[in-house]
Structures are given as structure tokens and as C-alpha cells.
Amino acid sequence: MPLLECVPNVSEGRRPEVVARLVAAVTSVPGVRLLDVSSDPDHNRSVLTLVGEAGDLRAGLLALYEAALREIDLTRHQGVHPRVGAVDVVPFVPLGDTPMKEAVMAAEALASEVAERFSLPVYLYERAARRPESCRLADIRRGGFEGFPAKMADPAWAPDFGPARVHPTAGVTVIGARFFLIAFNVVLETADVAVAKTIARKVRESGGGLPAVRAMGVYLESRGRAQVSMNLVDFRQTSVLTAFNRVREEAEALGTQVLESELIGLMPEEAAMGVVAEALKLPEFKMDRIVFGQA
């Protein structure tokens, strides 16, 4: 059967006991394999990486929605990351030889059932989008949970599934199909968020920076540092190393340094291998050049 990766993002990253219950809900379904959980208190967000067949994933995700609607109240939620829903976004990614159409069908099936079962407005995005204005996740999320009632008053922003009203505590949800996305953040030595925002503007594609890079500058209260938070939506166009080097160069030009970087969730093997090949200038570097284990 075709295998899919699914990377649900939930609006909770500060209460580990709640995150544990959300994880338990989605993994209660046989056939759903959990590969990773990444939580961040400043973003107040957790990213789960799941693998399975479409039917198993759908059942697990429905359990996740049920738990999230019970546990998360967006009227009390605060964090530096944009969000419109308790279960904010659920992308399906085809693995191996699985065609993109399988991911699109999985997104559509989940969207229909989520809307019917939980009375949640659902927007389809990326490869599953049904209209140009809802293709980009950033466009859907613009205005956030608080601004969505006014946004939805415009008929152009009617949901693809579900009622044309924002759920009072769970907001809306966005479900789609896409290529691999690498969530990659760079923490700066400075605490000045204006510096991070300036760097983000220069790095992201929409500002004339790197192709297939989306970026924002945020302040991490828990660390007392500024961060450039990036989504690399196509590592074949811009690698992790290229994005990191560009942030480092821009930071140095503004009088600060890179403290560290962090990967949220997982990255594809091809992307990781590409970083090594690029850094060492080894164009023929492949997995068969690596010995696994220790002597």
C-alpha cells in the first residue's frame, strides 16, 4: 500500500502532559508510526511526524483532533508562531514511489470527515488547494485566529469543508498535500528581534532572497535570544547549508553572530546527504560511502 508521511502541527508546546495525551491519541491506532515529536515553548507549538497508510493515518488524526479540541483553547493560547487552529495544519507528504495524488486524496478524505465530525471549518492548501488564494499556508493564516471571523465574512474565504464560522476555541484547520518541508531555525547571539526580522526579510524568497525559503524573525523569551525561523519548502532549490550560511552572513553584517541552529521534526535523507556533499564539495557523495555502527 502507498505510504505517506503526515506532519500535524498542534498549538501546544508548553504543557508536556497535554502533548503526551495528544501523542497517545494519534498513536492509539494500529498502523500509525510516530517518528518524532518536537515541541517549543516560545512558539507554543508541537510538530508530530507520522508515517502510515492513508486509512490508518486518517483514523489516528481523527483521534488527534478529538483530543486537541478537548485540550486546547485558542482564546488562552499565546506564542510567537502564527496559528489559526488548535490543530493548525496537517500536511500529507508522499514517500518513496507514492504519487502526489495519493496525498491529495488523503487530505480531501480527512478534511471531509473532520468538518462533519467536529463542525470545524477546513481549508485545503498546497497541492490539495481548490483555489489560488488558499494555495499558500501563509495566506490562509494571515490575520491569525483572532482575525479569522472578519476574514471569513468575505465570501472569497469560505472554507472548503465545514461551517462558515470559526470554532470558538479551536478556530479553523488547514489540511493539504505537499513536498517535503524542512523547518529550520537559527538562533542569534543578540536579543534584538529587529535584527532577526531584518535578516528574515533579506533571506526569504518574497523579499528577493533565497528561492523556496520562507522566514520570520521572532524573540525567544525562554532563551533571551532572537531567532530566524525558516521553512525550506524545496531543499532542491535552497539547501539547509545555503540557508544557514546566508543567515550567518547577514547576521555578521549587522554586528551579531549565530549561536546555534535547530531542526524541527525530520529532514529527508537526500537533503542531509546534500548538506555533506555541499559542505565538503563532494558531488558524488552517497550513502554507500558511509559505514554504520562503531568498531
Is 77 labeled as catalytic in the residue annotation? no
Catalytic residue among 43, 77, 81, 167: 81
* 8 Å CB contact between 85 and 134: no
Distance CA 21, CA 176 (A): 24
- Rg of the chain (C-alpha set): 19
Angle at 122 between CA 118 and CA 126, to 5 degrees: 145
| Cell of residue 90, nine digits | 496537517
Q: How far apart are CA 177 and CA 238, in angstroms?
A: 20
Separation of alpha carbons 161 and 218, rounded Å = 32
Strands 87-94 and 173-177: parallel
Known catalytic residues are 81
